Amino acid sequence: MVYRTRGSRTSSGRSFNGGRILLALVIAGLSLLSYCSSRSYNPVTDETQYVGISPEQEIVLGLQAVPEMVQQFGGEDADQQAQALLDKVCNRILENSGAGDTEWPFECTLLADDQTINAFALPGGQLFITAALFDQLETEGQLAGVMAHEIGHVVARHSAQQIAKQQLTQGLTGAAVIAAYDPDNPSSQQAGQVALLVGQLINLKFGRDDELQSDRLGVRFMSEAGYDPRAMIQVMEILAAASDGNAPPEFFSTHPNPDNRITRIEDAIQELYPNGVPDGLDQ
Residue 84 has pLDDT above 60, yes or no: yes
102-112 tens-digit pLDDT: 989 999 999 99
Nearest-angstrom CA–CA distance, 38 and 40: 6
In a domain, 114, yes or no: yes
In a domain, 4, yes or no: no
In a domain, 253, yes or no: yes
Q: Report the pLDDT averaged over residues 229-239.
A: 93
Q: What is the pLDDT of residue 165?
A: 63
In a domain, 5, yes or no: no
Torsions phi, psi for 109 (to 5 deg): -130, 130
Quickly count: other Cβ atoms within 10 Å of residue 190's Cβ.
Answer: 11
In a domain, 242, yes or no: yes
Which residues are known to be catalytic?
A: 150, 215
Nearest-angstrom CA–CA distance, 42 and 22: 36
CB of 229 within 8 A of CB of 139?
A: no
Q: What percent of the chain has pLDDT over 70?
A: 65
Residue 201 has pLDDT above 50, yes or no: no
Number of domains forming the structure of the chain: 1
Please list, in sequence order, all residues whose beta carbon lies within 8 angstroms of the beta carbon of residue 238, skipping any fewer than 6 positions away: 136, 137, 142
Q: What is the pLDDT of residue 38?
A: 53
Q: Report the pLDDT averaged over residues 10-23.
A: 52
Domain residues for the domain of 255 are: 13-272
CB of 76 within 8 A of CB of 109?
A: yes
Q: What is the mean pLDDT of the chain?
A: 77
Nearest-angstrom CA–CA distance, 32 and 249: 32
Torsions phi, psi for 122 (to 5 deg): -95, 160
Nearest to 243 by CA among 128, 133, 113, 109: 133
- Band the pLDDT of 209: cuts 50, 70, 90: confident
Nearest to 29 by CA among 157, 183, 179: 179
Nearest to 51 by CA among 60, 61, 42: 42
In a domain, 282, yes or no: no
Q: What is the pLDDT of residue 247?
A: 54
In a domain, 163, yes or no: yes
In a domain, 100, yes or no: yes
